[in-house]
Amino acid sequence: GESVGLHLPTLSVQEGDNSIINCAYSNSASDYFIWYKQESGKGPQFIIDIRSNMDKRQGQRVTVLLNKTVKHLSLQIAATQPGDSAVYFCAENMFDKVIFGPGTSLSVIP
Amino acid sequence: DAGVTQSPTHLIKTRGQQVTLRCSPKSGHDTVSWYQQALGQGPQFIFQYYEEEERQRGNFPDRFSGHQFPNYSSELNVNALLLGDSALYLCASSFTAGVETQYFGPGTRLLVL
């Protein structure tokens, strides 16, 4: 079936550098996408979302880019900090069902 | 303002037993969704409850059932437990007007032996 997936399972970045986490989705009917952060022992935490009628949305230190032509989603984290170390999931919301990708583990090197 | 709460935090059961997990939604939320998260994987949607009825369901067998109470809290029941049911069970709540934005609880870690 259709699903949301991530290109890279792990990512290590130096503290202070920018991080980019990528996600490929296959369901062209999806109209809403979300990025979640999950720290060890906790539930997923909402980071930022974007609708399909947009191609970019910015939050505090985070930016989500959506390329509908190639069905690609990315999360950019500026000036990555040790507290950003976690697993990041992209997800699509279709008809009130949230479908998660497998996740990317981000590790920040001090 | 309390966020989403779940109980218990951890649970150990044996094969064939039944388990009930509980969730209280964030204040002001009326919709509850349940997810199963196996180790190293993303959460998988089980079902969603609104107005005390199951509104959506993922690809899970009938052994998985749920309930929503008038105060919007919810229970997840799993019968005839299998070893493969071992996972983190997450509850998420949302408000129908903005159902896309779901807030997750910390989860219940279930181990089936």
Whole-number pLDDT of residue A3: 47
CA distances from A51 to A37, A88, A89, A102, B29 (A): 19, 19, 16, 21, 22
B101 and A49: CB-CB below 8 Å? yes
Q: What tens digit of pLDDT does each residue of A42-99 get? A: 999 999 999 999 999 999 999 999 999 998 999 999 999 999 999 999 998 877 678 8
pLDDT tops 50 at residue B4: yes
Q: Let me know: does B113 contact B15? Beta carbons within 8 Å.
A: yes
Question: Which of A55, A38, A36, A57 shows the shortest CA–CA distance to A47?
Answer: A36
Confirm or reject contact between B36 and chain A (CB < 8 A): no
Q: How far apart are the CA of B38 and the nearest CA of chain A, in angstroms?
A: 10
CA torsion B75→B76→B81→B82, rounded to 10°? Answer: -150
Considering chain B, what percentage of its residues have pLDDT values greater than 70? Answer: 96
pLDDT at A101: 84
List chain A residues with CB under 8 Å of B30. Answer: none
Tell me, yes or no, if B5 comes closer than 8 A to chain A by beta carbon: no
Residues A89, B105: C-beta atoms closer than 8 Å: no
pLDDT in tens, A25-42: 878 888 899 999 999 889
Specify the pLDDT at position B89. 98
Residues of A in contact with B105 (CB under 8 A): 43
Q: Is B42 on the interface with A (CB under 8 A)?
A: yes
Residue A1 has pLDDT above 50, yes or no: no
- The answer, for B21 touching chain A at a CB cutoff of 8 Å, is no
Residue with the bigger pLDDT between A23 and A6: it is: A23
Tell whether B101 lies on the interface with A, counting CB pairs under 8 A.
yes
**Both tokens assigned to B8:** 């218990």
Say whether A97 and B92 touch across the interface (CB within 8 A): no
**Beta-carbon separation of B104 and A34 below 8 A:** no
Report pLDDT for A2. 40
State the pLDDT confidence band at A6, using cuts at 50, 70 and 90.
very low
How do residues B42-87 score in pLDDT, each as one tens digit?
999 999 999 999 998 999 999 999 999 999 999 999 999 999 999 9
